[in-house]
Amino acid sequence: MTVLVDAAAWEWRGARWAHLVSDESYDELHDFARRIGKRRLGFQGDHYDIEAIDRARAIDLGAEVVDSRVLVRRLRAAGLRRRDDKPTWRRLDVAERGATLDPARLRELVPRAGDVLSGLAALDQVAHTSTYLDERELVILFDHMAEPPGEIDGVDLVWSGEPRVDGERSLELFFTR
């Protein structure tokens, strides 16, 4: 495992931010980011921006602390540096906790996404649910679940990784368009 993190030196929205990358693979990076509670929607094409508290979690889990220049150099050497291939998510719909999204709208874009949303209607009721779209994927985000259900309609839900800093969890479902 070769996950790298630089200093939390960039200030934005009242917090200090660092970069989290892998010089091995994007899959390794996504898995590691999930373990510290980061949403996959936060992926910036070749890195995640993480707050100082998430940086501390990353270091505790074995991320290697490096200088920003070293981080970029190793990312380039691994062939994983992407400057112009960042996701451009557009939010389609939002349903506050207690409301549901319309599966028919999703079926028009990705038929199985609408079917999955219908099957997870109980989860849609306890989460703040949003849908996002880019050129390649549709994402259903079930967010702000302080106590995510352990079961829906007889199906066990196994939650892995740490909750976010706010103690809540998210579930992201990605569908290729």
Q: Which of 140, 149, 139 is nearest to 169 (CA)?
A: 149
Selected residue with higher pLDDT from 167 and 42: 42
Q: Which residues of 99-127 are buried (b: 16+ CB within 10 A; e: fewer)?
A: eebebeebeeebeebbeebbebeebbebb
Residue 28 has pLDDT above 80, yes or no: yes
Give the three-class secondary structure for 35.
helix
Mean of the per-residue pLDDT values of the chain: 87
Q: Is the dihedral of CA 147, 120, 104, 113 positive or negative?
A: positive
- Split at pLDDT 50, 70, 90, the class of 47 is very high
Q: How many angstroms separate the CA atoms of 51 and 137, rounded? A: 26
- Split at pLDDT 50, 70, 90, the class of 155 is low
Give the mean pLDDT of 105-110. 90
Residue whose pair of structure tokens reads 């100082």 in the numeric block: 52
Q: For the chain, which residues make up each domain, given as ranges?
A: 3-77, 90-176
Residue 37 has pLDDT above 90, yes or no: no
Give the mean pLDDT of 119-148. 84
Can you read off the two tokens belonging to residue 175? 């569908």
Asked which of 34-43, 51-60, 84-93, 162-171 is least confident by mean pLDDT, the reply is: 162-171
What's this model's pTM, rounded to 2 decimal places?
0.78
Give the mean pLDDT of 53-78. 94
Residue 78 has pLDDT above 80, yes or no: yes
